[in-house]
Structure 1
Amino acid sequence: QDSHKLKKEHFSAFFKTKLDRLLKKEKINHLIICGVMTHLCVDTTVRHGFMLGYRSTVITDACCSKNSDYHKAAILALKHGFSRVMTVKQFQKAIANE
């Protein structure tokens, strides 16, 4: 499969990038999200994607923030309507059962 690189300069991976166009071209509508600064970049990307019509799964133990309270708060907020959340182990089990 082809790989793509995008330069991201803002909290959202969608803002001022070609990500939305690329995902639509590839007919991708469900995103698996992990990354640093859960309360900023991960949160903003998930919410932006949600507003664009994407479903997402955030892998909680593949994300982090400077402060664990920020991380926990972001995960708690995201799972109330914006994203499915699970650990790496839960994700591996879920995809093994598909």
Structure 2
Amino acid sequence: MEIKKFTEEDILELARTAYETGSASFEIVPHKCVLLVIDMQDEFVKPGWTVFWVPEATRQVPKIKSLIEFCRSKSMPIIYTAFASTYHFLDCPKTGDFMPNRYPQLSLTNSSWFKEGKIWHGLKPQQSDIVIYKPSYGAFYDTPLETILKYLEKDTVIICGALTNFCCGTTARQAYERGFKVVFGSDVTSTDDPSLQETELKVLRKGFAKVLSMSEIMEALR
């Protein structure tokens, strides 16, 4: 039996199709889902307050609020995450201080940032919701998130929030590697550079998540 040989053009076409139009084949089962609202906190959402403000995240607040309310109407657990000073920042990856996303050229000294992990008032959690404070990008790193999901007997996470290519994308990858199904909101996640949004969505679409718009997520949950 002759084994088919793939040309460079074949490989490129396969990859491009998966990046641009691929779709994970799992079904979305509503009672097995949890909504993760990633880092919609003042540092990223409050206009102009920090250098880390994500303007698109601010604009998406009404849509994310609608998604939260819809999921809540389906009795779906809502889990918020936020950066906060969990252990005087001693549980953060130590190499973080070397990264250019800290903007060392600005000599930032505002010590009030990322202390409380306060969720933006327009998306205020209810008493029945869960808020997880995390020390790094991914919501599974040094947090009880995996334990909580297993306790709730949920196998699917729906991700919205900020930033698409940092905390949201890292959380999607971590969830995938732990065997969870991932649904990633294409228009309820945002980046500080909008030109990178689709690039990250392509990578997630090919290998980590089912990428859907908010309306598609709601339709699947109906």
Moved more, 2-11 or 18-27: 2-11
Which consecutive unaligned segments of at least 5 residues does structure 2 have?
1-76, 78-127
Partner amino acid, structure 2, of 1:59: G
Q: State the Cα distance separating 1:84 from its structure 2 match.
A: 0.1
* Deviation readout 1:34-68 (Å, 9 max, x if unpaired): 11110111110000111111101001110000111
Runs of 4+ aligned residues of structure 1 deviating over 6 Å after TM superposition are: none
Superposed counterparts of 1:1-98, under 5 Å:
2-96=128-222
Residues in 1 aligned to 2:200 and 2:141: alpha-carbon distance in whole angstroms: 19
Q: Matched residues, percent identical?
A: 24
User: TM-score under structure 1 normalisation?
Assistant: 0.92
**Greater relative CO, 1 or 2 (CA 8 Å, sep 6+):** 2
* Partners of 2:132 and 2:188 in 1: CA distance: 20
Tell whether the 8 Å contact from 1:37 to 1:71 is kept in structure 2 after alignment.
no
For residue 78 of structure 1, report the CA deviation from its aligned partner. 0.1
Structure label with greater radius of gyration = 2
Q: Which residue of 1 aligns with 2:92?
A: none
Q: CA deviation at 1:94?
A: 1.5
RMSD, aligned CA: 1.2
Q: How many Å separate the matches in 1 of 2:220 and 2:175?
A: 22
